[in-house]
Amino acid sequence: MNSPQQDLPSRRRSSRLAALSIIAAASMALADDPKESADSSQAEIERTREAMRLWVETRKTISQEKQDWRLGREILQARIDVAREEIASRGKDIAEAKASVTDSDRKRLELADEKKALETDLAVLEGIIVTLENRTKAVIPRLPAPLQEKIRPIAGMIPEDSEKSELALSKRYLNVTFVLNEIDKFNREITQRSEIRDRPDGSQVEVTAVYIGLAQGFYLGRDAALAGIGRPGPEGWVWTEADDAAPAIAELVGILNNSKPAAYVGLPVTID
């Protein structure tokens, strides 16, 4: 199909040819008229009028064709301009879409790398926590009774099987950290407290127990004659009577209670 811009010049040429054909046909018709042989003036006038009428109509047709062609050209140009603007707009949208896709792909790759790094760090952290839990569980039975009592609520939350625990790693880490902090704090202090101690004859006696960190402990009976020494063992602390150390332990207890002045005290200490 030809475009409107191509059709208008063809229509213009066709109109001109049609007008010329009409004038020629009219002239031939008038030449063959029987009245022409009579050389009638009236007939000549009529022929002239008819020719003028045809010429005027032809000019009108040509003028109308020109006007239609100009209008068609303007409409076609407007359509071309709109099409160009649409093409430019679509091109801009496509470019923006491509840029957006590229940016999205880049961010997706960055997030994938971050996820992979986090998963690696998480695996390392989980391994560290499992090691801490296992070591902490192995240490707890060797701790002094007062320290075990203090950490029992949190220590009881450490999973028996760390590999199968469903507790969040953050919670597990906090639990282990609390227990280890309390153990470290106890190890850096001298702790004194009243306890009930079993005697070899099966009786029980109330004593004042003194713990020198986690390494050594002593106890003294109320009469200051009964005394003993404690050491950590695989299944808990082991206490042994040592009545001959009672004077030195009594002096230590007096200093801790502020009933005696500070002084160097020689105590029986066992070093592994």
Tell me what pLDDT residue 106 has: 78
27 and 80 part of one domain: yes
Least reliable range by pLDDT among 4-13, 66-75, 243-252: 4-13
> Which run of H or E residues covers position 228?
strand 227-233
77 and 12 part of one domain: yes
Tell me what pLDDT residue 102 has: 76
Tell me what pLDDT residue 272 has: 65
Tell me what pLDDT residue 71 has: 77
Q: Which letter does DSSP use for residue 107 in this model?
A: H
> Which range of residues forms the domain containing residue 162?
126-185
70 and 11 part of one domain: yes
Tell me what pLDDT residue 4 has: 47
203 and 141 part of one domain: no
Please say which residue of 74, 94, 114 terminates a domain: 94
Q: With a cut of 90, say whether residue 111 has pLDDT above it.
A: no
Q: Is residue 9 part of a domain?
A: yes
196 and 246 part of one domain: yes
**What does the buried/exposed string (b/e) look like for 245-257 if buried means 16 or more CB atoms within 10 Å of the residue's CB?**
bbebbbbbbbeee
199 and 173 part of one domain: no
pLDDT, tens digit (0-9, with 9 covering 90-100), for 255-272: 999 998 988 988 888 766
Tokens matching residue 261: 């002045």
Q: Is residue 100 part of a domain?
A: no
What's the domain count of the chain? 3
CB distance 33 to 43 below 8 Å: yes
Averaged pLDDT, 202-223: 92
Tokens matching residue 218: 């002593």
* More confident call, 20 vs 265: 265
Other beta carbons within 10 Å of 198: 10
Q: Is residue 116 part of a domain?
A: no
Q: Is residue 118 part of a domain?
A: no
Q: Which long-range contacts (CB under 8 A, 24 or more apart) does 183-192 make?
A: 183/139, 183/143, 183/147, 183/151, 183/214, 186/143, 186/144, 186/147, 186/211, 186/213, 186/214, 187/213, 187/214, 187/215, 188/213, 189/213, 190/256, 191/144, 191/146, 192/253, 192/256
Averaged pLDDT, 200-209: 88
Q: How far apart are CA 219 and CA 199, in angstroms?
A: 12
Q: How far apart are CA 82 and CA 80, in angstroms?
A: 5
* More confident call, 76 vs 190: 190
Please say which residue of 166, 185, 204 terminates a domain: 185
Tell me what pLDDT residue 59 has: 78
